[in-house]
Amino acid sequence: MRIQSRHYRTIWPHADGTVEAIDQTLLPHRFETRRLAALDDAVAAIATMVVRGAPLIGVTGAYGLALAAAADPADSAIEEAHARLAAARPTAVNLRWALDRLRALLLAAPPLERRALAFGEAAAIADEDALACEAIGDQGAALICAAAAEHPGRPVNILTHCNAGWLCAVDWGTALAPIYKAARDGVPLHVWVDETRPRNQGASLTAFELGGEGVPHTVIADNAGGHLMQHGLVDLVIVGSDRTTRRGDVCNKIGTYLKALAAHDNGVPFYVALPSSTIDWTMRDGVAEIPIEERDPSEVTHISGRAADGATTRVQLTPDGSPARNWGFDVTPARLVGALITERGVCAASEAGLRQLFPDLA
Ligand SMILES: CSC[C@H]1O[C@H](OP(=O)(O)O)[C@H](O)[C@@H]1O
């Protein structure tokens, strides 16, 4: 997608064997990139959320394993790198999915061929992700067009949570891809952007993306969505997913479940957009089975932003000594999900719905 008229992906390899990625911890106030030259760099980039979003951490994990294989192609080094990368963030299944795919390929090949194979496969995963997200955009844009037809004469109001735009993937994104496609097709729309405490991916990243693409949007406090729905100001909700179980339970950024409850209570369609790499076919009950990442409490007790002098400043919100907890994700049960938007089509959030679209993967 575009930044100052130039097309960027979120991550790309260089001929010198390093990988470059947009540093998302600095957005929206500074656009900088970071070089990943070794396994340690990739692990740190994922853990500290320099790169984030389920599809993107999968691709970064794949490049991380490639960097490890370049340094040492032995089986033991690949296994160790796989374990370290997989542990960097536990909830989004794309990370393990990509790592498992690469490990299987590499361990079946002679060590001398592993470096080239690994970079090739990581690039293939990146390209597949960009294509899948663009297809999600086409599938989901049809839903937005349908909503526009129901409300002629005014923009379609869409609420989204966190950042499931092109920054969460390689390009296009998941939940925002249908919005970009519909906007480019001339559908009048407006996006309510949940700020998404505690890391504020909505206020910082989604607003940055939508502004860059010229999509009308308004940032709202996380707790405003229910109020807006009660007053008819939300036509549909689209969010992303970090792991979707085979029966359609959806794990996404903390706070998503509350939006789904409010949407259900107000008859607002609640859609989840995801590539098939986000489906965990081994799990059924998301609440019982999905590991929920708990991050450092300082992300709750402190907040960063741009001060009047332009410098990035971090301030404390809570009283000294108040304990805090920081769960990163929650699970929305399938019964609250109106439909899943995937690269192969839109389906019910159910095992039957997913199996029908993905008989080869189920
Ligand atoms: C499709 S993943 C986008 C997704 O990423 C978020 O998590 P994080 O910023 O912590 O990586 C969140 O769950 C979003 O919906």
Q: Which residues are catalytic?
A: 242
Distances (CA, A) of 122 to 18, 19, 115, 127, 206: 13, 11, 11, 9, 26
Distance 91 CA to ligand 1 centre (A): 10
pLDDT of residue 35: 98
Distances (CA, A) of 164 to 171, 244, 282, 300: 11, 15, 24, 21
Which residue is listed with tokens 């955009």?
137
Check whether 163 is labelled as a binding-site residue: no
CATH number, residue 258? 3.40.50.10470
Domain match, 220 and 76 both:
no
Q: Residue 315 domain-assigned?
A: yes
| HSE of 319, CA atoms in CB hemisphere, 13 A | 2
pLDDT of residue 127: 98
Check whether 53 is labelled as a binding-site residue: yes
Distance 240 CA to ligand 1 centre (A): 7
Which residue is listed with tokens 């070089």?
35
Q: Residue 320 domain-assigned?
A: yes
- CA-closest candidate to residue 329, choices 214, 164, 167: 164
Domain match, 162 and 305 both:
yes
Nearest CA to ligand 1 atom 5: 53
202 lines ligand 1 (CB under 6 A): no
Q: What number is the average pLDDT over the span 94-103?
A: 98
- CA-closest candidate to residue 198, choices 314, 287, 309, 87: 314
Nearest-atom index, ligand 1, CA of 241: 1
Q: Are 300 and 224 in contact (CB under 8 A)?
A: no
CATH number, residue 49? 1.20.120.420
pLDDT of residue 352: 98
243 lines ligand 1 (CB under 6 A): no
Q: Residue 203 domain-assigned?
A: yes
Distance 85 CA to ligand 1 centre (A): 17
Q: Residue 228 domain-assigned?
A: yes
pLDDT digits (tens, 9 = 90+) for 45-57: 999 999 999 999 9
What does pTM read for this prediction?
0.97
Domain match, 57 and 149 both:
no
Q: Residue 133 domain-assigned?
A: no
pLDDT of residue 269: 98
pLDDT digits (tens, 9 = 90+) for 248-279: 999 999 999 999 999 999 999 999 999 999 99
Domain match, 48 and 117 both:
yes
Please give the residue range of the domain that contains residue 336: 139-357
pLDDT of residue 168: 98
Distance 24 CA to ligand 1 centre (A): 12
139 lines ligand 1 (CB under 6 A): no
Check whether 181 is labelled as a binding-site residue: no
Strands 19-22 and 33-36: antiparallel
Rounded to whole angstroms, the Cα distance separating 75 from 5 reads 44
Q: Which of 253, 256, 277 to mutate to test the pocket of ligand 1 (most atoms within 8 A of CB)?
A: 253
pLDDT digits (tens, 9 = 90+) for 213-247: 999 999 999 999 999 999 999 999 999 999 999 99
Domain match, 146 and 251 both:
yes
CB atoms near residue 169 (< 10 Å): 32
Distances (CA, A) of 81 to 52, 68, 99, 307, 311: 19, 6, 9, 39, 36
Residue 328 has pLDDT above 90, yes or no: yes
pLDDT digits (tens, 9 = 90+) for 142-188: 999 999 999 999 999 999 999 999 999 999 999 999 999 999 999 99
Q: Which of 163, 254, 280 to mutate to test the pocket of ligand 1 (most atoms within 8 A of CB)?
A: 163
Domain match, 278 and 338 both:
yes
pLDDT of residue 37: 98
Q: Which residues of 327-355 are buried (b: 16+ CB within 10 A; e: fewer)?
A: ebbbbbbbebbbbbbbbebbbbbbbebbe
Q: Residue 255 domain-assigned?
A: yes
334 lines ligand 1 (CB under 6 A): no
Q: Which of 170, 201, 243 to mutate to test the pocket of ligand 1 (most atoms within 8 A of CB)?
A: 201
pLDDT of residue 4: 81
162 lines ligand 1 (CB under 6 A): yes
Q: Residue 362 domain-assigned?
A: no
- CA-closest candidate to residue 200, choices 6, 29, 4: 29
Model confidence band, residue 5 (pLDDT cutoffs 50, 70, 90)? confident
Check whether 325 is labelled as a binding-site residue: no
Domain match, 235 and 281 both:
yes
CA 124 to chain centre: 19
pLDDT of residue 17: 97
Percent of the chain with pLDDT over 90: 98
Residue 1 has pLDDT above 90, yes or no: no
CB atoms near residue 226 (< 10 Å): 16
Q: Are 28 and 204 in contact (CB under 8 A)?
A: yes
pLDDT of residue 2: 82
Domain match, 120 and 146 both:
no
Distances (CA, A) of 180 to 141, 237, 326: 8, 15, 31
157 lines ligand 1 (CB under 6 A): no
Conformation bin of residue 283: beta by default, left when phi > 0, alpha when psi is -120 to 50: beta
pLDDT of residue 3: 86
Mean pLDDT of the chain: 97
Domain match, 77 and 150 both:
no
Give the residue from 98, 128, 158 where a domain finishes.
Answer: 128
Q: Residue 279 domain-assigned?
A: yes
Domain count of the fold of the chain: 2
Domain match, 209 and 147 both:
yes
- CA-closest candidate to residue 268, choices 174, 192, 351: 192
pLDDT of residue 21: 98
129 lines ligand 1 (CB under 6 A): no
Give the residue from 128, 156, 174 where a domain finishes.
Answer: 128
pLDDT digits (tens, 9 = 90+) for 102-153: 999 999 999 999 999 999 999 999 999 999 999 999 999 999 999 999 999 9
Distance 162 CA to ligand 1 centre (A): 6
Give the residue from 104, 128, 152 where a domain finishes.
Answer: 128
Domain match, 51 and 82 both:
yes
Check whether 328 is labelled as a binding-site residue: no
Domain match, 322 and 204 both:
yes
